[in-house]
Amino acid sequence: MIGTEFLPVSREEMLAREWYYYDFLVVTADAYIDHPSFGSTLIARTLEADGFRVAILAQPPWQDAQAFRAMGRPRCAVLIGGGNLDSMVAHYTVAKRRRAQDLYSPGGKMGFRPDRATIVYANRAREAFPDCPIVIGGLEASLRRFAHYDYWEDKVRRSILFDAPADLLVYGMGESATREIARRLKKKIPPWQITDVPGTAYIAGSADEIAGKRVDCPSYEEVTADKTAYARATKIEYEEHDPIRGRAVLQPCEGRILVVNPPARPLGREELDRLYDLPYTRKVHPMYTDGVPAIEEVRFSITHNRGCFGGCNFCALAFHQGRMVTSRSIESCLREAELLTRDPDFKGYIHDVGGPSANFRHTSCRKQKRCGMCADRSCLAPEPCPNLDADHSEYTELLRRMRALPGIKKVFVRSGIRYDYMLQDKDNSFFKELVRYHISGQLKVAPEHCVAGVLDYMGKPHFDVFERFWRQYQKINEREDKEQYLVPYLMSSHPGCTLADAVALAEFLHGTGHQPQQVQDFYPTPGTVSTCMYYTGLDPRTMEPVYVARDPHDKALQRALLQWRRPEKRALVIEALEKAGRTDLIGYGPACLIRPRKGEKYFGKKDEPRKQAEKKRDGRGPKPAGTVHRGRPARSGQKGRAASGEKAPAARRRTRKQ
């Protein structure tokens, strides 16, 4: 159902409801959008459904505590979330430059949230209500629950619980833990006695206070002084992050002990259905006259699943949502789609039916439901597990039924598709229907790199898997008489990626017609295995040394190689090729990345013989181009659009009616 009322955001709105008290104050670093794509809204509506009175304090002024006192003291607790993004990621690029926009703030403007928002808000809330329980949660708290490397300060910070004066921390998708905490607080149980809730963390004075199964983790002092200890701690934290076999992890810090309980079990299908059936207005609160840009991406999109067993080491999803996938029922998703058709601004297009990985609908194998996720291996990389249950039949049925609803013209799939998982499904019905009905001009996939060693550090499948996927994509497009793009996501400077590896990727891109306009430089965000590699120079899975490009100039050289055609990158490309000993790629042959200019030292020199260059280029195997023209690689005149992800001119986008 679509709600007609927002939750109160002021004393006046509380009085309009005849509220003279309320139970929970939900503080968020994002603008208030009453839509199920926003974590604080999910928590607030969950508590409301349990009969609690909930008020929202969105992006309050943080210079003093006055804004926190405006609605009075909540009877139960203050709940604080740092927003849908880590506040430091929201504010700074990987080059640590201040961003120009904050899509989760009014008008997309900067300045509505502080750096390290969860810590700042918790301190202001404690000033406002010295005796009120405070619980922190959301992505920012979740990924910083242990001692963690902070890229922006270039040092190890202690758990966020030691900097934010909160009583409890909820990590992961926190509905279950928050409901349990709320029930106990309502019974007047003090927060320091709430120590056994799965999916929570707290600070204990001594080990004698801690009951249940547990495992010791290197202390804050150890991981600060010894990078090997930091890598060991990361391994333990990931191994125990399982709702079935996980144990409480204890990390001493400055005379006290951080206790991180095992994760909460993910919500089952019926629970997810109830959660998404709550009365969201699905709109931006009217107090924002300039709107909030973040709503546009999700306004006509549907989230059908949670969790990801993809195992990418640079992604924080597994450490937040967990590796155990659960999903909503088909009927629940269809009800939401029908709601969208009633929106006067709906034009008939569902923008996405997805989630962390769009084509996951269930756990990776049957064993996982009994025993939990395997601690020592990934489900998909470098090779798929023999027990993997790759089945797209339910997802295919969901998409079929959704596109048949009255008022819906097209249903797109725009969130990440795991092509390696698709290839394990012996029935390729989903693949065919994806190409035929659900691509909005281009399909984005994430091979990330082409060098096997780099992909192993990333936790990604080897490149031959992407090549097989591309060949099938090519064939289906040709059979369907479609002209659709295949746009790869690429990453530079990931731990383990050397300058020679970056040159190899540039050669591949050049040989297959890619010209990336945007490349993701590796961003060391808290809580990921790749960030551990970046900081320690060790792979925590094996404790073996890993090459890391940390110097900004070294990172710029790798990034420039992947954008070699951009004039402003030319000097960096030449420097990179010289450092890599690959000046053979400066010349006039078909394998050369750039041509020398008059006055340069390479001008006039004979480059590699044409035959040898062609042999080197052809030896790189199939050519999965960034765009597909009726299933074929992009022609020379199409290369610019192929790599940039731009759409073709309208005349070239037309496809035959089915």
Whether 565 shows a pLDDT value over 50: the answer reads: yes
Q: What token pair was written down for 267?
A: 């919500």
- What is the torsional sign of CA 239, 243, 244, 250? positive
pLDDT score recorded for residue 416: 84
Q: What token pair was written down for 228?
A: 């090997």
DSSP state for residue 547 in the 8-state scheme? -
Question: Rounded to the nearest 5 degrees, what angle is found at the Cα of 536, between the Cα atoms of 532 and 542?
Answer: 75
Least confident of 60-74, 227-241, 368-382: 368-382
Burial 397-416 (b: 16+ CB within 10 A, else e): ebbeebbeeeebeebbbbbb
d(C-alpha 465, C-alpha 512), whole Å: 17
Contact in structure between 44 and 54 (CB atoms under 8 Å): yes
Whether 209 shows a pLDDT value over 90: the answer reads: no
For the chain, the residue count is: 658
Q: Determine the residue type at 433.
A: E
Whether 3 shows a pLDDT value over 70: the answer reads: no
Question: Rounded to the nearest 5 degrees, what angle is found at the Cα of 518, between the Cα atoms of 514 and 519?
Answer: 90
Give the model's confidence band at 626: pLDDT under 50 very low, under 70 low, under 90 confident, else very high: very low
Q: Which of 281, 284, 256, 371 is nearest to 323 (CA)?
A: 371
Tokens 């708290």 correspond to 141
Average pLDDT of span 96-115:
96
What does the pLDDT look like over 605-616, one tens digit per residue?
554 444 444 444
Q: How many CB atoms lie within 10 A of CB 497?
A: 28
pLDDT score recorded for residue 206: 85
Beta bridge partners of 81: 28, 137
- What is the torsional sign of CA 575, 579, 584, 585? negative
Whether 637 shows a pLDDT value over 60: the answer reads: no
For the chain, domains (ranges, CATH) are: 11-260 (3.40.50.2300), 446-451+476-658 (no CATH)
CA distances from 501 to 109, 311, 496, 622 (A): 38, 22, 9, 19
d(C-alpha 102, C-alpha 112), whole Å: 9
Q: Where are the beta strands (DSSP E) in 31-76?
A: 54-58
Q: What percent of the chain has pLDDT over 90?
A: 81
DSSP state for residue 385 in the 8-state scheme? -
d(C-alpha 531, C-alpha 148), whole Å: 9
d(C-alpha 7, C-alpha 281), whole Å: 10
DSSP state for residue 406 in the 8-state scheme? T
Least confident of 20-29, 110-119, 318-327, 638-647: 638-647
Whether 76 shows a pLDDT value over 80: the answer reads: yes
DSSP state for residue 261 in the 8-state scheme? P
Average pLDDT of span 270-296:
96
CA 602 to chain centre: 43
3-state helix vs strand vs coil in the chain, percent to 5? 35, 15, 50
CA 176 to chain centre: 22
d(C-alpha 556, C-alpha 576), whole Å: 9
DSSP state for residue 243 in the 8-state scheme? T
Least confident of 122-136, 344-358, 459-473, 626-640: 626-640
Q: What token pair was written down for 221?
A: 């002092």
Contact in structure between 313 and 539 (CB atoms under 8 Å): no
Report the predicted TM-score, pTM, of the whole model to 2 decimal places: 0.90
Give the model's confidence band at 516: pLDDT under 50 very low, under 70 low, under 90 confident, else very high: confident
CA 329 to chain centre: 23
What does the pLDDT look like over 235-265, one tens digit per residue?
999 999 999 999 999 999 999 999 999 999 9
- What is the torsional sign of CA 275, 276, 281, 283? positive
Burial 586-623 (b: 16+ CB within 10 A, else e): bbebebbbbebeeeeebeeeebbeeeebeebbeebeeb
Question: Rounded to the nearest 5 degrees, what angle is found at the Cα of 420, between the Cα atoms of 415 and 426?
Answer: 110
Q: Which of 101, 126, 93 is nearest to 27 (CA)?
A: 126
Residues 6+ apart with CB under 8 A from 130: none
87's enclosing H/E stretch is helix 87-91
What does the pLDDT look like over 452-505, one tens digit per residue?
999 999 999 999 999 999 999 999 999 999 988 888 889 999 999 999 999 999
Q: What is the overall mean pLDDT for the chain?
A: 90
Q: What token pair was written down for 80?
A: 């604080």
- Cis, peptide link before residue 198, omega less than 30° from 0: no
pLDDT score recorded for residue 629: 35
255's enclosing H/E stretch is none
Q: How many CB atoms lie within 10 A of CB 233?
A: 25
Give the model's confidence band at 212: pLDDT under 50 very low, under 70 low, under 90 confident, else very high: confident
d(C-alpha 609, C-alpha 394), whole Å: 54
Q: Where are the beta strands (DSSP E) in 507-603?
A: 520-521, 538-539, 544-545
What does the pLDDT look like over 399-447, one tens digit per residue?
999 999 999 999 999 988 999 999 999 999 999 999 999 998 889 899 9
Q: What token pair was written down for 486?
A: 């295949």
d(C-alpha 541, C-alpha 528), whole Å: 12
